[in-house]
Amino acid sequence: MGNKEGKIKTIAGGICAVPGFQAWGGSCGIRQNKDKKDLALIYSETDCEAAAVYTKNEVKAAPIYVTKEHLENGKARAVVVNSGNANACAPMGKENAQKECAALANALNISAEDVIVASTGIIGVALPVECIVNAIPQAVTELSAANDTAAAEAILTTDTCIKQKAVQIDLDGTTVTIGAMAKGSGMIHPNMGTMLGFVGTDAVIDSALLQELLKGCIARSFNRISVDGDTSTNDMVCVLANGKAGGAAIKAGTESCELFREALQEVCVDLAKKIAGDGEGAGRLVTCTMVNAQTEEIAETLAKSVISSSLVKAAMFGKDANWGRVLCAMGYAGTVLKPELADVYFKSKKGSVKVCENGEGLLFDEELASAVLGEEQVEIFVDLKDGTASASAWGCDLTYDYVKINGDYRS
């Protein structure tokens, strides 16, 4: 990791940090509160290779079906996303999603099949599609490489902050940029509110390889902040590659491909951590790391079980070094576990406290533990002493605000 990390440079901005991408974000009237943006557009000046990963929920929103159809040929050029209404389990869902694509295609003079559509917000209420259709012509005239932050803001729902990331790598002398925006709030975990991610790159890469790389990166990022299958009706992450960087096309199995994959994964992990850590007030990012497992899959299953446990999450809120709940959550994860070998630590920039050794509690400095757990980013670190594989998963604490936000989401 260390060597490769040095090769991936974080740069300012989001998707518009990538040459050839423009964006727009504003209010079109879906939300009653006009101060909250509700419509975002992303546009590539040239054709793109495209790939996407979708929710596994059996109940899928209409935009998911329409986007899947449009990406069958692996090509796309624009994205329309609204917040405030999920267009899920709603009348005229597919027709309305298609109307959005047609309106944007018409305004941009491209094919409707080259438009990706996504929605997030309330389920079961008809999408006021005319708001979107009416806003698009003017919005398209305002597309600009300076507007990715406005777009990143427009896709938010209960999120408290925008989520963007951009990195650059050097592939055999060619500078390649990856930029992205995402939405999703860790407060809503474990029954995820919608997660959306939109990634752009100027790499030269075909859609089949892009799809394969994206799938792997999602598995180690967005899928590690939720429990398996526990996804909303609207979840989607897509990536558009416009090839503007030039140079040789990225081929599977090469060093360039591995570096590109690492960079894409870094972008996805960064956004996933921003989602996991996004919560009002006392919310903190909780990383659970399992080391020395028999396999990465076992490590991942255990880490996800811990960050999904309501009891662990509530303990993190209370700055309570309650490692018994950590072991308990590992115990019901449904995978290989030798509790009698496990050591548990709580870590943050304030220090590290070992609280459990070989499955049994240690006497530890409660004051230090509370200080460690008082930080905004804390880590539950478990040494399984049963192999050499490791994995991290990310979540947040469970706060009063979670209940408040989700007790009346519709209003």
CB 275 within 8 A of CB 185: yes
Residue appearing with tokens 């860790």: 186
Q: Please list every residue from 359 through 398 that binds a copy of itself, using CB under 8 A.
A: 359-361, 398
Q: Residue 152 is which amino acid? A: A
Give buried/exposed letters for 363-387 (b at 16+ CB in 10 A, else e): ebeeeebbebbebeebbbbbbbebe
Q: Does 56 bind a copy of itself (CB under 8 A)?
A: yes
CB of 211 to a copy of itself, least distance (A): 23
Residue 229, SS3 per DSSP: coil
Q: Using the rule CB under 8 A, which residue among 25, 193, 243, 279 binds a copy of itself?
A: 193
CB of 316 to a copy of itself, least distance (A): 9
Residue 93, SS3 per DSSP: helix
Q: Residue 192 is which amino acid? A: M
44 vs 158 by CB, closer to a copy of itself: 158
Q: Does 219 bind a copy of itself (CB under 8 A)?
A: no
CB of 268 to a copy of itself, least distance (A): 21
47 vs 280 by CB, closer to a copy of itself: 280
Q: Using the rule CB under 8 A, which residue among 50, 78, 81, 86 binds a copy of itself?
A: 86
Which of the ranges 74-82, 250-258, 308-316, 388-396 carries the binding residues for a copy of itself, by CB under 8 A?
A: 308-316
Write the DSSP symbol of residue 249: P
Beta strands per DSSP E along 244-376: 285-293, 343-348, 351-357, 360-361
11 vs 362 by CB, closer to a copy of itself: 362
Q: Please list every residue from 236 through 295 that binds a copy of itself, using CB under 8 A.
A: none
167 vs 275 by CB, closer to a copy of itself: 275
- Assess whether 194 carries a catalytic annotation: yes
Residue appearing with tokens 């100027």: 202
Q: Does 341 bind a copy of itself (CB under 8 A)?
A: no
Q: Residue 354 is which amino acid? A: K
Q: Which residues, listed in sequence order, are joined to residue 352 by a DSSP beta bridge? A: 347
d(CA 236, CA 231): 10
Q: Using the rule CB under 8 A, which residue among 40, 239, 291, 329 binds a copy of itself?
A: 329
User: 121: phi > 0 → left, psi -120 to 50 → alpha, else beta; which?
Assistant: left
CB of 94 to a copy of itself, least distance (A): 12
Catalytic residue among 55, 158, 177, 194: 194
Residue 257: Cβ within 10 Å count: 18
258 vs 320 by CB, closer to a copy of itself: 320
Q: Using the rule CB under 8 A, which residue among 22, 231, 289, 301 binds a copy of itself?
A: 231
CB of 232 to a copy of itself, least distance (A): 6
Q: Please list every residue from 131 through 160 that binds a copy of itself, using CB under 8 A.
A: none
Closest by CA position to 335, among listed 313, 356, 304, 312: 304
Which of the ranges 135-143, 217-225, 240-248, 358-366 carries the binding residues for a copy of itself, by CB under 8 A?
A: 358-366
Residue 89: Cβ within 10 Å count: 14
Which of the ranges 132-140, 161-169, 205-213, 228-236 carries the binding residues for a copy of itself, by CB under 8 A?
A: 228-236
CB of 233 to a copy of itself, least distance (A): 6
Q: Does 400 bind a copy of itself (CB under 8 A)?
A: yes
Element (H, E) at 257: helix 255-277
d(CA 106, CA 113): 11
d(CA 221, CA 235): 14
Q: What are phi and psi of 6, to 5 degrees?
A: -65, -20
CB of 17 to a copy of itself, least distance (A): 34
Q: Does 48 bind a copy of itself (CB under 8 A)?
A: no
Residue 31, SS3 per DSSP: coil
d(CA 110, CA 42): 13
* Binding site residues, a copy of itself, CB under 8 A: 56-60, 86, 88-91, 122-125, 188-191, 193, 229-233, 309-312, 314-315, 317-318, 320, 322-325, 327-334, 337, 339, 356, 359-361, 398-400, 402-411
The residues annotated as belonging to the active site are: 194
